Amino acid sequence: MTTLRPFTCDDMFRFNFVNLDPLTETYGLTFYLQYMAHWPEYFQLTEAPGGEIMGYIMGKAEGHGTNWHGHVTALSVAPDYRRLGLAAKLMSGLEEISEKKQAYFVDLFVRVSNTVAINMYKNLGYIIYRTVLEYYSGSPDEDAYDMRKSLSRDVDKLSVVPLTHPVRPEDIE
Amino acid sequence: MVSKMAPKTKPVDNSVNERRLRPIYDWLDNGNNKKALQEAEKVLKKQPNLQCAKVLKALAMVRLGKSEEAQAILKDVQLEEPCEDATLQAMAICYRETHRPELTCQIYEAAVKKDPLNEEFLSHLFMGYVRIGDYRKQQQTAMALFKVKPKNPYYFWAVMSILMQAYASDDSVCLTITLPLAERMIKKFVEEKKIEAEAEVQLYLMVLERQRKYDEALQVIQGPLAEKLASGIIETKKGEYLKQMKRWDQMMDYTEELLRSNPDQWSYYVHYAETLFEISSQDVTAFDRVKTFLFSLLEQERIKSENKLRGPYLAMLYFWQQLQQRNFDASAVFGNFREFAQEYVEIMGDKPCAFQDLKPFISSLPADQVTEFLDCVNQSVGLDDPSRQSPKTVKQICRHLLQLQLNRFLGQHDLLGKKEKTQLSRELWDHYLRTKFLNVGLLTTDIRPNDGYALLAAHLLLDTWNNDPDVLYKCLLLLETSLANSPANYHLKLLVTRVYTLAGHGRAAFQRYETLDIKYIQLDSLGHLLCRPLISMGLPYTASPLLSSTLRFYTTHARETSECLISAYKFGSFGKIPEFTQFCQRLDSSAHFASVTTERMLLDLLLDSSSHLKLVQTAGGMFADPDKDQPDWKTCVDNRDCGVFVSWDPPSKNLHDDIVKTTFNDEVKFARLRNRLVHALIATVALSPIWQIEVQETKNRTENLNNDQHPKDKCILPRLLQELEILLTELKSQSLMSHSQFSVQSPPPPRLYTYVENGSLEPILILMDIVSKGQCHAIGNDEIRQLDNALSRVVESAQPSVVSEGFWRNYVRLERVYNAVETLCLCVLVVSTIHAIIKNNNALSKKKKKKGETDNDDSFNRAKQFSTLVSCVASNMKKMEVLIDEFGVQVCISQMKLTESDIEKAEHAITDEISKNLSQSPVSEVKNLMVEKFKLLETCNL
Ligand SMILES: CC(C)(COP(=O)(O)OP(=O)(O)OC[C@H]1O[C@@H](n2cnc3c(N)ncnc32)[C@H](O)[C@@H]1OP(=O)(O)O)[C@@H](O)C(=O)NCCC(=O)NCCS
């Protein structure tokens, strides 16, 4: 049981149970604010009865022609609220909006080491579309999987034919 | 990127200029400002009047820190009223980087005057007004834009600007003129069928809502315009409007409809309950209806075999609690609370969220049913002999932890004595060790399911602490061990940071704090955990960079947010515009911001003053303005996230709202006192003759003032001292919180308490008063005696014999030591100023005297009195040094001994790490500081 609602600025003062997690990046203010300004409907949050923030999703719609797609920029659920289906719920919300916007597919990047998330996305119908080499900087740099799920507009599922060769970050549009 | 602003349309005859300017843009983009400056100068040699080159030169100068020269260039260009896009945009960047957004408006105003139909200029002008928040001019400019190019967004920018005027002032003009105007403007478009975007409909709703015209708003979301809106919005808005109009009957039907389609959305239950209580005052049958409805939702879940929703179960507890709080006989209406709670535990107990879910409600469990409830919870775990048997699955761990947490929350741990608690914590640790096999295969980024045992065991140990070093050590041992196994668990990191803090080991606390990787907005919401406390713990050098990075966050956000406001206009996210504006204000008024700003300045004075000259330079470099450099203290806000520590303590012991509120108020009071202090100190240093040479003259040069001091400057110090006196008297008359009220999870005790109690401010006030009254060369015996008394008192209060109580005792003791050290060191700064003043006067009077005449008694006396003053400060510093040396041994818990069995179980790397942390002297930084300032004091002889 959760309250699903749009993310607001004030939530940033209280999202620590989600953001102190090492896989969840805390970005500069502009980053969140630009998403709220540009794609407010893609930035949703779930709240517990006690008022704690349980998790949120942040995304956008971008691309031209058949590349018009929804993108998951961040998805995170506080450790105490995992395995309740919250991430799945947030993802289906994002897919629904992308359907309405007549996108061809939804995609996201995930660390190749983050098997929990990768399995979750697989369970939600996503496939590994390609590998992006050294997408995450750090020591050492880490590769990312670009994962995708096609939407109803992509009738022939052309967007989810996996690439056989990895790409470099500068090659992704 | 600067090159982005290069003009899109390039007039042909400008191509030469284009080519010449290109390299400057490139250097600027690459961050090579020196090269950019040289290139600009080269271009200007060939073409001295090329405006854009001048501005780019100014931009390079701004970035090279030569703001003043840059301003001069920009002023000249501005007078020429440039009308060329690239020049204007480059100027706008300069103004943005020098925090002068109002000047951007001025240049575009001039450009628009010359070229009133230029859409580009007008839209820049609009954005310029957005940056400075001039809503009325925004409105005019948006309308002008619409006249030039009748595009919908421009029209709605105007409407939004009108609405912002209404948000900003709540007077009757808004309701009678401003808002109706906005409404008319939108209606006109509706009637002419010109509405295009969802944003426009949303803005329509915002305008209606602001006028409380909910009925009309309801019609909008149910009419043809609704098809432009996303379905989620219609849903929430409808509920909101019905509620506002108190149409409870409709609201009842509507929330039931919503709940039926989404029985897990908590906000619907909250509305449903509110509706119930509104209706039931007239119609008691509502209870039956609601009960039947909620039970039907519950039944749906009960018959499911898996993926049961939490909502309908928790709803029973929630409604029961709501009834009870309104003095209804909840059991009679709804049934047995305990049974609902047990059912929840049965179904959700194997999820880690179970405790957090129950927490808001379980305190409603009738006292006489606690035992029965806990018995049932204990049974649900399925361990026959919990003292020897441990869970075999992750789900069982969850159940077991829930059982332990509920026992604690319902007061069962309060019934245990020290021995039993130690025993229980030992048992939990054994469970931790025995369940480790379940962690195999997890990623380092996964939190270990058995971490909960370690946390709870640590909490139990802390219960029994009572200043026994062994207990803290054991606690660190199990926290550090579990953290090494579960490096992603921030609950462990937070607690271990806190335990080091309570142990009085700030540096170790800081190391752990850093692993939390706290940044950006978190600097505001979580900074209170350690930022100011590091200073209290006597770590000014460690605190310094942390203060700087925090401050950088605060000072850059306003510029960033205003750019996002502009995006919100561009993308038509009108709802976000007031939200962003409020957010920006919330950051500006953050109490933590006020505190960090002031403490940063004080630390600069303290740490950057190896000589009197250096002190003057540091103080002068702050360009302090005692009137402008303080927030409106009354509107300071609390942005701390005080809920970040998990706790299973019973509500009676748990963090009260009171303590949150009181600590906030007291932090603000302290920040205010310190703010006045730092300005008084700067005003004192400003009276040094060296200031005249170092600071005033450069200031005069740049501001073209004559050599006279501002008449204002002379009366600043007496005024500030008076303000300080008033604040201090006020504070002394208030009753302050006792340190023993602070728990492990509470916000750190404000420094205000020890600061006022120890009289930390008095000696500095006495010295500044001497300067303020112009009595440096006539220091009386009385003043010296007073100073000696005041300083002795400060040093006394740092004695180990002064007892502190509660969890924070070590911390408070360190704070008292730091208070004393800081006071002594600040006194040295004032003494060095007195010294400079006397020396200068002596030199002047010597010059006046004819050669051969000897110094009279006067100047001899002067020197004698001053040196007595110096020795008074020096002797107190010596006393303090002795005290610190003793202190090193006294408070440290580094002598804590590990028992053999502890070592056996722990890994050596971890015990080594803890020992290393605890062997760092907690007082090395304050010692260092004292030595530094002692050197400065030694230079003060006549
Ligand atoms: C990845 C993450 C968002 C999952 O959130 P969640 O709310 O627990 O996920 P859900 O409960 O919706 O899980 C949906 C499905 O994913 C799978 N799944 C999720 N977590 C899993 C885990 N730890 N192990 C195995 N499967 C898992 C399951 O199939 C699950 O369905 P089920 O519970 O019915 O079997 C969460 O673990 C998280 O916040 N991680 C840190 C941040 C992160 O990695 N984000 C992704 C970056 S791209």
pLDDT tens digits, one per residue of B220-268: 999 999 999 887 889 899 999 999 999 999 999 999 999 999 999 999 9
Residue B710 has pLDDT above 60, yes or no: no
Residue whose pair of structure tokens reads 């006192």 in the numeric block: B673
Q: How many angstroms away from the CA of B95 is the closest CA of chain A?
A: 20
B113 at the A interface (CB within 8 A)? no
Instruction: List phi, psi (to 5°) of A69.
Output: -150, 160
Instruction: List phi, psi (to 5°) of A120.
Output: -60, -45
Residue B856: per-residue pLDDT = 63
- Pocket flag, ligand 1, residue A22 (CB < 6 Å): no
Q: How many residues belong to chain A?
A: 173
Chain A positions touching B520 (Cβ under 8 A) are: 26-29
- CA separation for the pair B815, B893 (Å, rounded): 17
Name the residue facing A22 among B311, B351, B488 (closest C-beta).
B488
Q: Which residues pair with B138 in a beta bridge?
A: none
- HSE-CB for B203 with a 13 A CA cutoff: 34
Structure tokens at B142: 């948006």
Q: Which residues pair with A108 in a beta bridge?
A: A72, A147
Given a contact cutoff of 8 angstroms between Cβ atoms, the answer to whether B101 and B74 are in contact is: no
Q: Which residues pair with A167 in a beta bridge?
A: A132
pLDDT band at B271 (very low <50, low <70, confident <90, very high): very high
Chain B positions touching A62 (Cβ under 8 A) are: none
Domain segments of chain A: what residues?
Answer: 3-159
The closest of B459, B474, B492 to B649, measured between CA atoms, is B459
Question: For A3-159, CATH number?
Answer: 3.40.630.30
Given a contact cutoff of 8 angstroms between Cβ atoms, the answer to whether B827 and B794 are in contact is: no
- Over residues A56-73, the pLDDT tens digits come to 999 999 999 999 999 999
Q: How many angstroms away from the CA of B272 is the closest CA of chain A?
A: 14
State the burial class of residue B114 (Cβ atoms within 10 Å of its Cβ: 0-12, 13-18, 19+).
exposed
Closest ligand 1 atom to the C-alpha of A88? 12
Residue B712 has pLDDT above 80, yes or no: no
Residue B232: per-residue pLDDT = 81
Atom 35 of ligand 1: nearest residue by CA position: A83
Last residue of one domain, picked from the residues B191, B222, B249: B191
> What is the rounded average pLDDT of the residues B491-499?
97
Are the Cβ atoms of A49 and B360 closer than 8 angstroms?
Answer: yes
Sorted by sequence, the CB contacts under 8 Å of residue B385 that are 6+ apart come out as: none
The closest of A23, A42, A46, A24 to A34, measured between CA atoms, is A42
Residue B912: per-residue pLDDT = 81
Q: How far is CA B366 from the centre of its chain?
A: 40
Chain B interface, best mutation among A29, A82, A96, A118, by max B CB count within 10 A: A29
The closest of B386, B375, B374, B473 to B435, measured between CA atoms, is B386
Given a contact cutoff of 8 angstroms between Cβ atoms, the answer to whether B520 and B553 are in contact is: yes
- Pocket flag, ligand 1, residue A20 (CB < 6 Å): no
Against a cut of 0.90, is the pTM above it?
yes
Backbone φ/ψ region at B847: left (φ over 0), alpha (ψ -120 to 50), beta: alpha
Three-state secondary structure string covering B595-664: HHHHHHHHHHHHHCCCCHHHHHHHHHCCCCCCCCCCCCHHHCECCCCCCCCCCCCCCCCCCCHHHHHHHH
Structure tokens at B63: 């970035």
Residue B396 has pLDDT above 60, yes or no: yes
Q: For residue B25, which amino acid is it?
A: Y
Name the residue facing A2 among B264, B488, B524 (closest C-beta).
B264
Are the Cβ atoms of A81 and B488 closer than 8 angstroms?
Answer: no
pLDDT band at B157 (very low <50, low <70, confident <90, very high): very high
Residue B642 has pLDDT above 50, yes or no: yes
> What is the rounded average pLDDT of the residues B165-169?
90
Residue B10: per-residue pLDDT = 41
Instruction: List phi, psi (to 5°) of A44.
Output: -120, 155
- Give me the DSSP letters along B203-225: HHHHHHHHTT-HHHHHHHHHSGG
CATH number, position B74: 1.25.40.1040
Q: For residue A42, which amino acid is it?
A: Y
Chain B interface, best mutation among A8, A25, A33, A57, by max B CB count within 10 A: A33
B143: three-class secondary structure by DSSP = helix
> What is the rounded average pLDDT of the residues B789-818?
92
Closest ligand 1 atom to the C-alpha of A76? 39
With respect to residue B455, please indicate whether it lies within any of the assigned structural domains. Answer: no
pLDDT band at B888 (very low <50, low <70, confident <90, very high): low
Please count the residue pairs, one from chain A and one from chain B, whose beta carbons lie less than 8 angstroms apart: 151
> What total of structural domains would you count in chain B?
2
- Over residues A78-94, the pLDDT tens digits come to 999 999 999 999 999 99
Virtual torsion, Cα B141, B142, B148, B153, nearest 10 deg:
160
Residue B706: per-residue pLDDT = 46
**Closest residue, chain B, to A115 (C-alpha):** B443
pLDDT band at B851 (very low <50, low <70, confident <90, very high): low
- Pocket flag, ligand 1, residue A57 (CB < 6 Å): no
CB atoms within 10 A of CB B369: 14
Given a contact cutoff of 8 angstroms between Cβ atoms, the answer to whether B198 and B573 are in contact is: no
Residue whose pair of structure tokens reads 């929630």 in the numeric block: B318
Given a contact cutoff of 8 angstroms between Cβ atoms, the answer to whether A77 and A16 are in contact is: no
Residue B478 has pLDDT above 70, yes or no: yes
Tell me, what's the ipTM? 0.96
Q: How far is CA B130 from the centre of its chain?
A: 26
- CA separation for the pair B76, B249 (Å, rounded): 69
Q: How many angstroms away from the CA of B333 is the closest CA of chain A?
A: 23
**Closest residue, chain A, to B262 (C-alpha):** A1
- Give me the DSSP letters along B525-559: HTGGGTHHHHHHTT-HHHHHHHHHHHHHHHHHHHH
The closest of B864, B876, B725 to B797, measured between CA atoms, is B876
The closest of B808, B817, B826, B641 to B740, measured between CA atoms, is B808
Residue B700: per-residue pLDDT = 67
Residue B919: per-residue pLDDT = 78
Residue B528 has pLDDT above 90, yes or no: yes
Instruction: List phi, psi (to 5°) of A106.
Output: -120, 140
Are the Cβ atoms of A22 and B446 closer than 8 angstroms?
Answer: no
Q: How many residues belong to chain B?
A: 942
Given a contact cutoff of 8 angstroms between Cβ atoms, the answer to whether B24 and B43 are in contact is: yes
pLDDT band at B818 (very low <50, low <70, confident <90, very high): very high
Q: What percent of chain B has pLDDT over 70?
A: 94
Given a contact cutoff of 8 angstroms between Cβ atoms, the answer to whether B764 and B821 are in contact is: no
> What is the rounded average pLDDT of the residues B471-492?
93
For A98-136, letters b (16+ CB in 10 Å) and e give beebebbbbbbbbbeebebbbebbeeeebebbbbbeebb
- CA separation for the pair B122, B141 (Å, rounded): 7
Given a contact cutoff of 8 angstroms between Cβ atoms, the answer to whether A44 and A57 are in contact is: yes
Strands, DSSP E only, in chain A?
3-6, 43-47, 53-62, 69-77, 105-111, 127-136, 142-150
- CA separation for the pair B719, B838 (Å, rounded): 23
Q: What is the mean pLDDT of chain B?
A: 91
- Over residues A135-171, the pLDDT tens digits come to 999 889 999 999 999 999 999 999 999 999 999 999 8
DSSP class of B583: H
Strand duo A142-150 + A105-111: pairing: antiparallel
Q: Which residues pair with A147 in a beta bridge?
A: A108, A128
Residue B11 has pLDDT above 50, yes or no: no
pLDDT band at B655 (very low <50, low <70, confident <90, very high): low
Chain B positions touching A1 (Cβ under 8 A) are: 264-266, 269, 309-312, 314-315, 357
Strand duo A53-62 + A69-77: pairing: antiparallel
Q: What percent of chain A has pLDDT over 70?
A: 99
What is the layout of strands, in order, in the sheet containing A105-111? A3-6, A43-47, A53-62, A69-77, A105-111, A142-150, A127-136
For B308-329, letters b (16+ CB in 10 Å) and e give ebbbbbbbbbbbbbbbbeeebe
Q: In this predicted model, which residue has the larger pLDDT, B536 or B708?
A: B536
pLDDT band at B13 (very low <50, low <70, confident <90, very high): low
Are the Cβ atoms of B579 and A9 closer than 8 angstroms?
Answer: yes
Residue B8 has pLDDT above 70, yes or no: no
Given a contact cutoff of 8 angstroms between Cβ atoms, the answer to whether B810 and B818 are in contact is: no
The closest of B587, B575, B661 to A10, measured between CA atoms, is B587
**Segments forming the whole domain that contains residue B73:** 3-168+178-191
> What is the rounded average pLDDT of the residues B317-334?
94
- Over residues B753-791, the pLDDT tens digits come to 999 999 999 999 999 999 999 999 889 999 999 999 999
- Pocket flag, ligand 1, residue A128 (CB < 6 Å): no
Sorted by sequence, the CB contacts under 8 Å of residue B805 that are 6+ apart come out as: B738, B739, B740
Residue A112 has pLDDT above 90, yes or no: yes
- Pocket flag, ligand 1, residue A165 (CB < 6 Å): no
With respect to residue B547, please indicate whether it lies within any of the assigned structural domains. Answer: no
